[in-house]
Amino acid sequence: MSNVVLTLRVLVGGVFLVAVVSKAHGPASFARFADSVRQVAAVPRGAAAPVAAGVLLAEAAVVVLLAVPGPVPAGPLSEGLLATGFLLAAVMLAGFSVVLATALRRGVTSSCQCFGASGDGIGRRHVARNGALLLCAVTGAALTPAAAAVTPFAAVLCVAAAAAAVAATVLLDDLLYLFR
């Protein structure tokens, strides 16, 4: 169980970390994200930047909550922080999925800027990606109380597997384009 929880922590936390960094690495990146919030989520122009900032802060909170307990859950407080991080991620991913599915039904074709500049419009693949990440977050929250110490070798394998999954998640559009 512990290996699975560590892998899920790195996967979910890594995806959210890439999302935060890609949106916050400069004013132009944030402006593109705020504009995509306006278009995809149908947020009024004046509210788009505050909503985008709130999303960014919540994503950063997920990263912190999944990272703070350290490499090994070590008690009730760290388990609570970890479970809270997974649950916050799950709530956000569910919300993102609903927003994307609603936008698709409205016929929106703009990109979501989930991981920075992207020319690809939103699609069902993004809803599916969020659904898979939602399942990972819920599983992580459910397994957190059963997690124990992880051996260093297992930790390296877990982090490596999760890093590959983060890369595949973040580069989903590029990978699909490559294999079309």
Name which residue leads in pLDDT, 40 or 154: 40
At 154, list the tokens. Answer: 């297992």
Residue 23 has pLDDT above 80, yes or no: yes
**Confidence at residue 72, expressed as pLDDT on a 0 to 100 scale:** 47
**In whole angstroms, what is the distance from residue 17 CA to residue 1 CA?**
24
Angle between helices 76-106 and 45-67 in degrees, nearest 10: 150
The DSSP secondary structure of 143-155, one letter per residue, reads: HGGG-----HHHH
Name which residue leads in pLDDT, 116 or 90: 90
What is the reported pTM?
A: 0.86
- Residue 29 burial by CB count (10 A; 0-12/13-18/19+): exposed, middle or buried? middle
**Confidence at residue 138, expressed as pLDDT on a 0 to 100 scale:** 95
Helix, coil or strand: residue 112: coil
**Confidence at residue 178, expressed as pLDDT on a 0 to 100 scale:** 74
pLDDT digits (tens, 9 = 90+) for 55-112: 999 999 999 999 876 544 455 556 778 889 999 999 999 999 999 999 999 998 888 7
**In whole angstroms, what is the distance from residue 145 CA to residue 34 CA?**
37
Residue ranges making up the domain that contains 113: 2-179
What is the CB-side half-sphere exposure of residue 88 using CA atoms within 13 A?
Answer: 21
- If one counts the domains in the chain, the total is 1
For the ranges 91-95, 117-121, 156-160, the lowest mean pLDDT is seen at 117-121
Helix, coil or strand: residue 123: coil
Name which residue leads in pLDDT, 108 or 174: 108
